[in-house]
Amino acid sequence: MNKELIGFLFVSFAVLIGVLQFTNWIQAPFVGVLNGAKSFYYETIDKTSSTIDEHFEQQTTIQELQEKNKKLENSNLLMHEFAVELNQMFEQHQSSLAISPKVQLVKTLSYARLGDINRVWLDMKDFNTSKIYGLVSKGYSAGIVTFKHGQPMALLNSDYKCSYAVYIGKKRAPGIVHGKNTEEMIVEFIPNWIEISVGDEVFTSGLDNLFFNGLKVGRVIEVTQSQGFQNARIKPYYDVTQPGYFQVIMKRF
């Protein structure tokens, strides 16, 4: 009985193979299904490969654009200094145009101390530990660079030890700005005889040899009197909560 069953199954399998090999109307659906599966497989592979290629091409493009953006920011800073000096030349009929300014693009490594967002370590390759440098971000003054343990450390605008020379308003009232907190800075030692007002723009004077003349710092939000001078509370333009890349003014002339 078992032999008869085995023989029957063998003959049936042989007939099925024969039919599939030589009968087109039965073979076609199987081939169609297999070819459809293959097509779907290759289309999926192609799409996946294209998606991966596009992803890496986009990453490369983003990196290239980031590098170009850094270079453009650097060029913009130098052009700003040139424009300020050129305007002064037209106004005064003479100029001491800086012909070889030097800036260095640096990045933030980390906060100098956890919980203190006012100071950050910088990845800065070329520096002189006996000097102080001006720090710029996106065309705005951002703070100064000092050194601790022989390493470059940025004191951002919000740090109370960050100070530099500025002018206020169209009458260019001189003063010294220093940090107060993340939202405000204070300009002190402003002469009483020069009128300043809320809304006046504050910009670097360059008289401290740290910054170019004319870099924007912020706007006056309050004016007070103190011991024969005026004080101005200002809202700075640079956001100290977003440290990233900076430009360090290595040399003004």
pLDDT per position as a tens digit, 185-237: 999 999 999 999 999 999 999 999 999 899 999 999 999 998 889 999 999 99
Q: Which residues of the chain have pLDDT under 50?
A: 20, 24-28, 30-36, 38-39, 41-42, 90, 95-99
Shortest CA distance to 245 belongs to which of 105, 37, 117, 120?
A: 105
Instruction: State residue 52's pLDDT score.
Output: 61
pTM score:
0.64
- Residue 35 buriedness (CB in 10 A; 0-12 / 13-18 / 19+): exposed
Q: Give the integer Cα–Cα distance in Å for 159 and 154.
A: 10
Shortest CA distance to 203 belongs to which of 215, 194, 195?
A: 215
Residue with tokens 């099925």: 16
